[in-house]
């Protein structure tokens, strides 16, 4: 999958370059390069003042900025020892998603001046991993490995790359976990799912879907299925719980953290509000995509419903993943769906899971006799719902 990974990395770098040009953060003069521009550090929460007090350079945008600013802040203080997260809009909630920032800190080798570059590099590297993992997973269902580049077509992945948020890394690890789970490499799958959960806690739904798929399969003894399900979901639950306990010790509680619960609501209630806005022509995306914004939002709803329908009819791993991530997409609130960029990011796991379920459900290409057996034969059986 090295060629697929290389293509994914190239696409990620191209997306990032286009965003830097769009933000007028790069030109032919090296001195004009400002890698902090995509993070959209705002003035509304006084994070700009916190950065200035610590001698951290960042391009400042008037207003509240965007979510990339929180990951940038965490990358300067990944273990929360400087309490920088106290100046965030939702301190404990933001600090509860550490892996993106830690990855950026590691790529920068802990050097403060290199942290923006390291954090931005996480996106293209995650796109490389996600494309390769998707290609490997779909190849087991008879698809070309190049189908893995469909990972780059998920709108929320592109948004995550150009604004320095965590969706590309979290989804790449989730797909890697699914690939390992399909091969019964349960320890590796559990570790990948744990990484996805530490990137964004909602991505533990992937681990839960895989655990339920394994638990409900016919054949193996119940004790073996329970042990396998625990290996898939347990590390993520334990890892996230331990990190949240650490966050609770390091970061004081804030009433604003409860606002995170507003991202979910009754099933389809948020969609009713959003579709009504679109029908009236009042849905205005907060990114220059024109009418395609409404098309992608409505298309995401269609994919969510398709994922649910496939999961109710078929019992394969990707079908069940499409079912549970489809249901997840149906409970998003109107306040979240009403903002195009945030909606695309929140819907990214739903779009990805439904897309993979649909790809796996298509008629598989015939495998040559020499390549049949082993993993291919096993997952071909899984593709038919067994």
Residue 367, pLDDT score: 47
pTM over 0.75: yes
What are the backbone dihedrals phi and psi of residue 81, each rounded to the nearest 5 degrees, phi first? -75, -30
DSSP string computed for 36-81:
TGGG-EESTTSHHHHHHHTT----EESSS--THHHHHHHHHSTT-T
For residue 80, give its domain range.
2-383
CA angle 289, 290, 296 (to 5 degrees): 65
Query: How far is residue 150's CA from residue 352's CA, in Å, rounded to a whole number?
Result: 9
Could you tell me the CA-to-CA distances from 321 to 14, 137, 161, 300, 304 in Å, in that order?
30, 13, 24, 16, 11
pLDDT of residue 366: 53
Per the CB < 8 A criterion, the answer to whether 234 and 177 are in contact is no
Q: Are strands 60-61 and 41-42 parallel, antiparallel or unpaired?
A: parallel
Contact (CB, 8 A) for 13 and 135: no
Consecutive 10-residue runs of the chain (386 residues): their mean pLDDT?
Answer: 97 96 77 88 93 94 94 97 92 97 97 96 98 97 95 97 98 98 97 98 97 90 94 97 97 90 91 94 92 95 97 95 97 94 97 97 62 42 41
Composition of the chain by helix, strand, coil, percent to 5: 70, 0, 25
How far is the C-alpha of 26 from the C-alpha of 32, rounded, in Å? 6
Q: What's the pLDDT at 220?
A: 85
Looking at the 3D structure of the chain, how many domains does it have? 1
- 324 contacts: CB under 8 Å, gap ≥ 6: 205, 208, 209, 212, 311, 353
């Amino acid at each position: 999958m090295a060629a697929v990974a290389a293509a994914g990395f190239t696409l990620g770098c191209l997306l990032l370059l286009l965003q830097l040009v769009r933000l007028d953060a790069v030109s032919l003069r090296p001195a004009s390069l400002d890698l902090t521009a995509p993070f959209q550090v705002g003035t509304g929460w006084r994070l700009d003042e916190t950065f200035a007090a610590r001698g951290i350079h960042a391009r400042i945008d008037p207003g509240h900025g965007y979510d990339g600013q929180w990951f940038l802040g965490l990358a300067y203080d990944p273990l929360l020892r400087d309490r920088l997260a106290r100046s965030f809009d939702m301190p404990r909630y933001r600090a509860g998603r550490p892996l993106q920032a830690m990855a950026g800190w590691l790529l920068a080798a802990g050097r403060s001046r290199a942290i923006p570059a390291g954090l931005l590099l996480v996106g293209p590297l995650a796109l490389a991993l996600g494309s390769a993992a998707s290609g490997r997973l779909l190849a087991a269902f008879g698809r070309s490995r190049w189908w893995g580049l469909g990972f780059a077509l998920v709108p929320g992945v592109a948004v995550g790359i150009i604004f320095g948020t965590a969706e590309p890394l979290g989804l790449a690890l989730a797909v890697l976990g699914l690939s390992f789970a399909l091969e019964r490499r349960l320890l590796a799958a559990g570790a990948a799912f744990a990484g996805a959960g530490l990137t964004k806690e909602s991505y533990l739904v992937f681990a839960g879907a895989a655990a339920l798929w394994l638990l409900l399969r016919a054949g193996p003894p119940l004790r073996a299925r329970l042990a396998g399900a625990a290996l898939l979901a347990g590390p993520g639950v334990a890892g996230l719980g331990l990190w949240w306990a650490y966050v609770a010790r390091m970061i004081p509680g804030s009433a604003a953290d409860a606002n995170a619960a507003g991202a979910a609501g009754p099933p389809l209630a948020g969609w009713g509000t959003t579709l009504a806005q679109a029908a009236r022509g009042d849905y205005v995306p907060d990114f220059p995509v024109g009418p395609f914004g409404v098309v992608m939002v409505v298309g995401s709803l269609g994919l969510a419903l398709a994922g649910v329908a496939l999961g109710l009819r078929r019992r394969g791993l990707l079908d069940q993943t499409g079912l549970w991530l489809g249901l997840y997409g149906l409970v998003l609130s109107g306040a979240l769906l009403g903002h195009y960029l945030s909606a695309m990011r929140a819907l990214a796991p739903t779009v990805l899971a439904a897309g993979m379920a649909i790809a796996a459900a298509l008629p598989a290409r015939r495998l040559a006799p020499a390549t049949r057996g082993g993993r291919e034969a096993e997952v071909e059986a899984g593709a038919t719902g067994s």
